Every structure is written in structure tokens, then in C-alpha cells.
A and B are shown apart, each in its own frame.
Chain A
Amino acid sequence: MLSLRIALRFLTSSKVQTIGIALGIAVGISVQVFVGTLIISLQQSLVEATIGNAPHITVLAADDGLYIDDWQPYIQTIEGVGDVRDVSVSLSTNVLMNTPDDRTFPGLVRGFEIENSDGIYDISSRIYEGTAPDSNGEVLVGLENQEEYGLSIGDTLEVTLGNGSIQDVTISGFFDFEVATLNEGWVISNLGTVQSLLDEGDVVSAIEMQVGDPFSADSTAKKVEKAIASDKVVVSNWKTENEQLLGALAAQGQSSYMIQFFVIIAVFIAIASILAISVTQKSKQLGILKAMGITDVQSSLIFMFQGLFLGVIGGALGVGLGYGLFMGFIVGASSSISPFVDWGFIIGSGVMAVAASTIASMIPAVKSLRLNPIEVIRNG
């Protein structure tokens, strides 16, 4: 195809100009990829930090202070709902813990089926000393409480419940969730221990689960509610409890779109103006080609192809550069941001560069349509 050959020759014969334009596009796209990927990673890290080790959907008893009895059938029903994973139960109650040296701290005793709950809380890997409670009457205590009260494995804690009853439990290990409020506030045990503390029979206070897509937790929660179809329980999800966070994430996402929009506009203007200058530079060549019988469509295609190639080269360079910058930043800054590479977004940025530069090249293409060979020939 002649237009393609001429376009390539125009680009390769003005190497410095071609490299300059491609680098211009590359810088723009690399900024887009870098900023976009960084913001996506920030959002993911924030979401992970907030709900990574927390239930996305929780089923609670409809009346405050009551427990869910007959909970096993619910588990089966919930597990049948698509996108739901790591379904587990917990039974929690507020207590006062009395240490061996007769000091007292408040705590929320949480009873889990530890193996099942690991899917959400990853309790087993959070135990830095000792073991998970494997028989009734054993508990795990948080790092801050261990340090504050000088506790050791095997120590006995006196547990005072809300109804005044007092029972003893033994420390089997210590955990660290890397969140001070959880370490200070929680005392973890198995389900049986808390059930026997409460003496309410085989009850749970919550059925907890995570979902594949945390941002669809609200719609999945509705499905869970529909599947259970019981007025004895209510279903809540993390989104309703974290509206501020969601608002911040949305604002962050919008700022990312704004940056991307202006980058694309800059790429568009740069390509359009540089190629428009190129039409003037190549007007003699275009004039004689038209005199020799090249059609308007063919002459326009010369510029469209140039735009396409510049977009492909600049886009590919920009994607590589942006990705490299991002990974360099993550490694160099040794930040707590976990890299989340959304290839759809990155490839989309590259495709956008190609589309923007091809569309931008339509401006010089139209300019070349209007070029009259006589003007060129007359002016020499």
C-alpha cells in the first residue's frame, strides 16, 4: 500500500522528529500508567488494609443482644450463593479479664471455628507465640496486652461476664494483627469455649464471610438475604459501614480519571499540531503526488498512518516506561503499598494512545485534503 510506504518513509527520513514525537507520547502515557497504577494500588492497599482481614458480609441476629441458634442450615444456604467464600461463624461477648497479678482489662472474647475463620482473619499465621486454642478453656491474647500485663503462655485469666459469672481460661498463645485496637480489645478462643462461657447452648452471634469482589458486597449481601429469607436475622456489609472510605476511594478514582483525561488531551494536541506542521513541511511532496494522480484519500491516509505508527511506538514506550517507573517507585520507596497491576488499564492506556494519535492525525489528514497542488507548484 503506497500511503503506508510513504508514511513509513516520511517517519524514518525525519528520525529526530519521529523520535521526539514518540517520546512526547511516551512521556504522556507513562504519566498516565504510573499515576493510574499507583492510584489503583493505593485503593487496593487501602481496601485490603480495611477489609482484607475482616468480613465483607455479616449475618446477625435481628434483635440486638440475641444470638442465632439453629445456625448450621444458614451456612449451607449461604455457601450456595455465588461469589461468597470463607463462610465462618463467631460468638462474641464483652468481658473483663483479670490477670494473675490482679490487674483488669476489658476485652471482647471472640469464639471462632479457628480453621474456618482463618479464611477471613488468618488467625493461625498471626500467632507469634504459642498455639491456637485446641481445647475448651484456652484463649489467645494480643501483643499489647501481653506486654502491658506481662503475660505468659499457661497463665490463667479470670473472665467476668456481663451477668456477673466468673470463669477461668488459660493462655495458649499470643497474636498480633498489627492493629493496636484489635490486639488490645480482642481475646480469641474457640467457639466451644465462648459457648460454654455464655451458657446459651449452640449459638453464634454472627455468620461472617468474604466475597470475591468486595465492591459488589452490597449486591451479594442482598442475594444472601434473599437466600436465607428469614426475619430472625439481618445482613449487613462492609460498604454500608465504610461510606467515608468509599467516598475517599471514589474521589481518588475521579482524580485519576481527570489526570488521564488531560494527559490524553495533551497527547492529542501534540500529535495534531506536529503532524499539521508536517503537512506544511511535506506540502511540495504532497503537491507533486497529487499532480501525479494520488487521490485525496491516499494523501490523507499518509498522515493517518503516521499518527497510527507514532501512537503505537509512543504508546508501547509509554506503557513500558510507566510500568517501570511504577515498579521502581514501589521498590525504591519500599512503601507499604502492594503493587496491583491492572493489565486491562495498562493495555487500555496504550490503546488509548494509539486511538488518540490516530484521531489527532485526522486534523492534518483533512488539511492535506485541502492542499491544492497548484499552490505548491506556483510557489516553487
Chain B
Amino acid sequence: MGNVLELKGIEKTYFGAVDTKVLHGIDLAFEEGSFNSIIGQSGSGKSTLLNIIGTLDKPTKGLVFVDGQDTSKMGKMKLAKLRNQTIGFVFQFHYLLPEFTALENILMPIQISGKRVDGKTKAKAEELCELVGISEVRNNNSTKMSGGQQQRCAIARALMNQPKIILADEPTGNLDSDTTAQIYSLFRDVNAKLKTTFIIVTHDRRIAEEADRIVEIKDGRVFLDIKR
């Protein structure tokens, strides 16, 4: 399969009283449908890298190609559209909108894309609820769900637009070990069924070892890149 994501010479410097360079010329490519983990210690630059991959942050130097498109040439509007259509985000905190129900949160990416919520999209959202195991609480406000349910809901939301890439930053960082195992099993299922590319940032080496590829970032550089 071809690469869905390519990073070429990515550098990132935070300018301030003291300039801090956090990424030093990262070159990486991720195959479509692959299941990847990025590991590294706190401050290694792994989350910065994920934000750059997700076009939430811009590299100081280097190019990011998402689905073959050079993101450096895109304006804010195009990047927003790219994120909505191609990338799904799962963060350590679920960031569900507390004013909306679980189902409404899951439907949000569809509405952002400007499409109407019809029976078909609703059925798809229901299907995703089923897939992540939150059907019973789908009409609850996000504040009336357990931590695990909230994170599952966030995963269903990330999947709603059938993105090619799911970027997950410490997605189980706030969950107990049983729920963590369930979430990773869910990621694996989705990866197998929908051929969605997963890039998961974690500091937990045991979790990372479940992935097909482990990229270790150390001091802003690729220290290890192991494919199984």
C-alpha cells in the first residue's frame, strides 16, 4: 500500500526568550492502513510531532504530505477541510462538547463538513455507537457518561467521517488498565475493518508494543523505527 502520510525534514523551534528546538529534521512515512505507535519520554517532542502531522501546528522547516497533498501550501480553510475529511483526533482528554449528547457529538464532524444529518448518517452514527459499545448511553449528555464511555465516544466521533488517519495522543492516559485494553482492541478492530491508519502517541512501552510499527523519538530525533 502507498503512504498516506509523509514527513520530510521536519524541524520545530519554539521562539522565545530562549529559542527551543524540539524537532531536528524528522523524516517519516506511514503506510495506508498501518497501525503505528510513537513513543518517547516526556518532552521528547512526540506530541509536537503529532500536532504537526495533524496540521494543528506548523513545522519551522520541512514538509508534511497528507494523502499526497503538501500541507505547507494550504490556507487555514483548506487545512480545516483536510482535517475534517482525512484526519480523526483522539486526545488524552475526550474533549466532548458537554452541551451535546453522545450521538450529537459523534455527528459533529459530519455537520462541520456541511453535510446534512439524514437517516443514513444517523444510522452510521448509531453503528459507531454500537462498535465502540456506548449504544445504551448514546442519548446521554457527555457529562453523564463514565470516563471510558467518554473516550469511546471520542473515538466514534473521530471515525464518523471515515478518515484515512486516526491520530491519538495518549488516548488511554486517563483510563484504567481494563478499559485501556478494550480501547486498543477497539483500535485494532477498526484498523482491520476500515483500513484506517492509526498513529498513536504514548509513553507506555507495553501499549506501543501492540502496534505493527514503533517509532521512538528521543531529543527531537527518530531514535528507533521498528517494523514487525
CB of A9 within 8 A of CB of B99, answer yes
Contact between A291 and B54 (Cβ–Cβ < 8 Å)? Answer: yes
Residue contact A290 to B80, C-beta cutoff 8 Å: yes
A296 to B100, CA, bound (A): 21
A293 near B84 with CB under 8 A, answer yes
Q: In the bound complex, what is the Cα–Cα distance between A13 and B143 (angstroms)? A: 12
Given A284-B95, A288-B95: A293 and B112 interface contact (C-beta under 8 Å): yes
Interface 9-mer from B3-11, B66-74, B86-94, B125-133: B86-94
With most chain A CB atoms within 10 A of its CB, the pick from B95, B100, B111 is: B95
Asked if B56 contacts A295 (CB within 8 A), the reply is no
Tell me which residues across on chain B come within 8 A of A374, comparing CB atoms: 51, 56-57
B-contacting residues, A1-50, CB 8 Å: 2, 5-6, 9-10, 12-13
Asked whether any CB of chain A lies closer than 8 Å to the CB of B206, the reply is no
Using CB atoms and an 8 Å cutoff, list the residues of chain A in contact with chain B.
2, 5-6, 9-10, 12-13, 284-285, 287-296, 298, 373-374, 376-378, 380
Interface hub of A287, A292, A295, A376 (most chain B Cβ within 10 A): A292
Chain A: which residue is nearest B108 at the CB level? A292
8 additional A-B residue pairs with CB within 8 Å, beyond A376-B95, A377-B95:
A5-B111, A9-B100, A285-B97, A289-B97, A293-B85, A373-B56, A377-B51, A378-B47
B169 interface hit (Cβ, 8 Å): yes
On whether the beta carbons of A289 and B108 are closer than 8 Å, the reply is yes
Is A292's CB under 8 angstroms from B98's CB?
Answer: no
Pair count A-B, CB < 8 A: 68
Minimum C-beta distance from A329 to chain B (A): 41
Interface string of B49-70 (1 = CB under 8 A from A): 0010010110000000000000
> Smallest CB–CB gap between A283 and chain B, Å?
11
For B56, list chain A residues within 8 Å (CB): 291, 373-374, 377
Flag if A289 contacts B112 (CB, 8 Å): yes
Q: What residues of chain A lie closer than 8 Å to B100, measured between beta carbons? A: 9
A13 partner, pick from B96, B98, B109, B112, beta carbons under 8 A: B98
Interface residues of B, CB < 8 Å — how many? 30
Does B113 sit at the interface, judged by CB under 8 A? Answer: yes
Which residues of B lie under 8 Å from residue A378 when comparing CB positions? 47
B99 & A293 in contact (Cβ 8 Å cutoff): no
Bound state CA distance, A345 and B57, in angstroms?
A: 51
CB nearest to A5 among chain B residues: B111
Jot down 23 A-B pairs with beta carbons below 8 A, ordered by A: A2-B111, A9-B97, A9-B99, A10-B99, A284-B93, A284-B95, A285-B97, A285-B98, A289-B112, A291-B83, A291-B89, A292-B83, A292-B84, A293-B85, A293-B109, A293-B113, A294-B80, A295-B77, A296-B76, A298-B112, A377-B91, A377-B169, A380-B93
Smallest beta-carbon distance B98→chain A, Å: 7
Q: Which residues of A contact B157 (CB under 8 A)?
A: 292
Q: With A and B bound together, what is the CA distance between A289 and B77 in angstroms?
A: 14
B205 beta carbon closer than 8 Å to chain A: no
**Nearest chain B CB to A282's CB is how many angstroms away?**
9
What residues of chain B lie closer than 8 Å to A5, measured between beta carbons?
Answer: 111
Tell yes or no: B81 within 8 A of A by CB: yes
Q: How far is the CA of A12 from the CA of B77 in the complex (A)?
A: 29
Instruction: Give Cα A9–Cα B141 distance, bound, in whole angstroms.
Output: 12
Most chain B CB neighbours (cut-off 10 Å) among A12, A291, A373: A291
Distance between Cα atoms of A12 and B98 in the complex (Å):
12
